[in-house]
Structure 1
Amino acid sequence: MPRLPRMAGAAAAAVVLGALASAPASGDEPELSEARVVARFDFGAGRTPENIALERDGSADLTFAFARQIANVTPGGRTRILATLPAVPDPRTPVVRSAVVLGIARAHDGTLYVNYATGTSRTGVWRIAPDGSTPVQIAKLPANGVPNGLALDEHRGVLYAADSVLGTVWRIPRAGGTVTAWATGGALAPAPAPSGGFGVNGIKVHGHAVWVSNSARGTLLSIPVRADDTAGAIETRATGLDGIDDFAFTGRGHTVLAALVTTSRIALVRPDGSHSVVLTQRDGLSNPTSVAVRDRNVYIPGAAYYTMRDPNLLVARLHR
């Protein structure tokens, strides 16, 4: 959820903060420890890490929102720029007012897909081939929207993009082509004026459903994928997650680690919807925007959109 007033030229709408729902921890639920910052980035250069995809070697592919870059960060913290999306002379991106690269998804063959929001015809999904060739736009999305989170369902051969302004989940063929408004509704929309803010934001494919967060409403939702690939009724899985951005599952179950960007916290969300804070700014978080889990490692990019200092990549250990 990009918020960079000094660089973007306009502040994003405020997200109302509230108290986290909590429940006693059970003895067998996941815990995080050994949090450490493995890489720090240049805020002034727009290297604000927004979203993450993991490589097989344990490295992380990040989108640097305002630099329009995709970078690879090794476990040792070495950063290499993989691609830069083309500049837009007069970006008119809603809310943000700058061209920003947001969600990222990785296919098994190494192909990367990213969302690019510009307020122009270049808004949409872009593909970055494993050979490092020039990024190619494979689908156009509405210029008056902000395609934020991105998820790939390789089994069905489709991508899902969460539009934070239009309150829509778009369905896009992996090869490109016709885009479908797969899911819409009030549960996905921003909050009513004057609160506004970003609506549907993070997105994951998990357990025969598409799961999404709504930042303005502080909710975690799931949308069943029917046998004919259409969207089922939207189900509320958790509430009270103020400032939720993207999230990740800790395993095959429905336990989630959610990035609460406005308060620099990570929340553990249980299958019953209760949640508690497991990491804070004291652990090194800097406005976390997304989460990725691989084996016992939890990767958390922090974009520093509010603090405007120390954008970083933090890694913690997951214990079950």
Structure 2
Amino acid sequence: MFKKLSTSALSAAVLVAAAAAALTPVSASAVSAPLTSARIAVHFDLVKGQTPENVALAPGGAAYVTFAEGRQIAEVSPRGTIRILATLPKPADGGIHTPVLGFPLTVGIVRSHDGTLYFLYATGTPDLTGVWRLRPGGEPQRIAALPADGLPNGLALDPRTRTLYVTDSVLGTIWTVPTTGGTPTAWSTAPELASTGFLGANGLKIHNGAVWATNLDKGSVLRIPILRDGRAGSARTEATGLPGIDDFAFTGHGDQLLAALNGPGEVALVQPDGSHSIVLTSADGLQNPTSIALRGDTVYVLSAAYLTAKDPNLILAHLND
């Protein structure tokens, strides 16, 4: 998550979004190895609050997306059809007290093997902020409350232990919550997770026996081992120099990962030694990318256009070996 559109930007985006909706998929002009064949596959509607914040892929080809400003969970079919599955209730105060951002938003999302979706909702109010669940054909329900003065953001599922991990970008904390719900536990409050003024701990993944997280303010990637008793080990910084880093995904080549750099409008390929190169840019259609996922050798990159205020979209690219 990066930044909400200003009122003036949102108003200006009405005309821009209408024009963007008529665009057909286009070929990228700046994609770099190991990515190829990047194209815009889906254009979202900015006027409807379709700012894609996070994504979870399903085996059948669908992608489940949180629309942050729309407070919605949506299914995007392989053909690009958008179906709204749920709209979360708006808080009584309008969400103006949501920390840092000042608007209510749906954030991280994961999917379990049985099709259940778990996602985060941040409102700045104690009655709505927390971890939510949506079973196939059901209604959304909150299964765990999280601090209203925090900003739950990234979400990851460890299917082995049926544990959900949550980053809090304001409180600098990684929480754990059982998939059955209940009281959250502060799993790690390592200083590396802290904000320096805007948003700290952000994207989140479980990988090779560790929790990996990004810190947007510090432009870093962190690794925290999961100890045998489930507690957090010592945090270690694996990469730096990644301004505006949001979500990320591992490529399947060890600890190599692709990272969305929200503010700069880029995607970086980060190597296990911490070095990185830029593989997608705004010339490829990126509009403040927020999330990345991989299905086989296909890379999904979602952009929310928080700052550009035009054409939130889904870009597909091919990942070469």
TM-score (norm 2): 0.90
Q: RMSD value over aligned CA atoms?
A: 1.5
Question: 1:74 maps to which residue?
Answer: 77
Q: Using the TM superposition, give the Cα deviation of residue 231 of structure 1 relative to its aligned residue in structure 2, in angstroms.
A: 0.1
Task: Give the AA of the match of 2:99.
Answer: P
Q: 1:224-243 counterparts in 2 under 5 A?
A: 224-243=225-244
Question: 1:41 maps to which residue?
Answer: 44
Q: Secondary structure at the match of 1:263?
A: coil
Question: 1:58 maps to which residue?
Answer: 61
Q: Using the TM superposition, give the Cα deviation of residue 197 of structure 1 relative to its aligned residue in structure 2, in angstroms.
A: 1.1
CA contact 2:173–2:201 (8 Å) conserved in 1: yes
Q: Using the TM superposition, give the Cα deviation of residue 185 of structure 1 relative to its aligned residue in structure 2, in angstroms.
A: 2.3
Task: Give the AA of the match of 2:50.
Answer: R
Cα-to-partner distance string for 1:167-193 (whole Å, 9 max, x where unaligned): 0000001100121000012200001xx
Q: Using the TM superposition, give the Cα deviation of residue 297 of structure 1 relative to its aligned residue in structure 2, in angstroms.
A: 0.4
Question: 2:154 maps to which residue?
Answer: 149
CA contact 2:5–2:309 (8 Å) conserved in 1: no
Task: Give the AA of the match of 2:310.
Answer: R
Q: Secondary structure at the match of 1:307?
A: coil
Task: Give the AA of the match of 2:135.
Answer: A
Structure 2 CA distance, aligned partners of 1:227 and 1:273?
A: 26
Structure 1 CA distance, aligned partners of 2:264 and 2:203?
A: 17
CA contact 1:2–1:50 (8 Å) conserved in 2: no
Question: 2:267 maps to which residue?
Answer: 266
Q: Secondary structure at the match of 2:42?
A: strand
Question: 1:304 maps to which residue?
Answer: 305
Q: CA, structure 1 residues 224+7, in 2 after alignment: closer, same or farther (shift >3 Å)?
A: farther
Structure 2 CA distance, aligned partners of 1:2 and 1:283?
A: 20
Structure 2 CA distance, aligned partners of 1:123 and 1:224?
A: 27
Question: 1:95 maps to which residue?
Answer: 100
Structure 2 CA distance, aligned partners of 1:230 and 1:147?
A: 20
Question: 2:293 maps to which residue?
Answer: 292
Q: Using the TM superposition, give the Cα deviation of residue 30 of structure 1 relative to its aligned residue in structure 2, in angstroms.
A: 6.7
Question: 1:123 maps to which residue?
Answer: 129
Q: Secondary structure at the match of 1:231?
A: coil
Task: Give the AA of the match of 2:234.
Answer: A
Structure 2 CA distance, aligned partners of 1:154 and 1:234?
A: 22
Q: Does 1:5 align with 2:10?
A: no
Q: Which runs of 4+ in 1 moved over 4 A?
A: none
CA contact 2:251–2:258 (8 Å) conserved in 1: yes
Q: Does 1:138 align with 2:143?
A: yes
Q: Which of residues 163, 168, 179 in structure 1 aligns to 2:168?
A: 163
Structure 1 CA distance, aligned partners of 2:33 and 2:124?
A: 41
Structure 2 CA distance, aligned partners of 1:37 and 1:275?
A: 24
Question: 1:201 maps to which residue?
Answer: 202
Q: Using the TM superposition, give the Cα deviation of residue 5 of structure 1 relative to its aligned residue in structure 2, in angstroms.
A: 3.4
Task: Give the AA of the match of 2:124.
Answer: G
Question: 2:111 maps to which residue?
Answer: 106
Task: Give the AA of the match of 1:5.
Answer: L
Q: Number of residue pairs matched? A: 296
Structure 1 CA distance, aligned partners of 2:281 and 2:183?
A: 42
Structure 2 CA distance, aligned partners of 1:317 and 1:74?
A: 19
Q: Using the TM superposition, give the Cα deviation of residue 99 of structure 1 relative to its aligned residue in structure 2, in angstroms.
A: 0.7
Structure 1 CA distance, aligned partners of 2:316 and 2:310?
A: 18
Q: Using the TM superposition, give the Cα deviation of residue 221 of structure 1 relative to its aligned residue in structure 2, in angstroms.
A: 0.4
Q: Using the TM superposition, give the Cα deviation of residue 75 of structure 1 relative to its aligned residue in structure 2, in angstroms.
A: 1.9
Q: Using the TM superposition, give the Cα deviation of residue 84 of structure 1 relative to its aligned residue in structure 2, in angstroms.
A: 1.1
Cα-to-partner distance string for 1:8-32 (whole Å, 9 max, x where unaligned): 99xxxxxxxxxxxxxxxxxxx9711
Structure 1 CA distance, aligned partners of 2:75 and 2:65?
A: 6
Q: Secondary structure at the match of 2:6?
A: helix
Structure 2 CA distance, aligned partners of 1:174 and 1:271?
A: 31
CA contact 1:38–1:75 (8 Å) conserved in 2: no
Question: 1:16 maps to which residue?
Answer: none
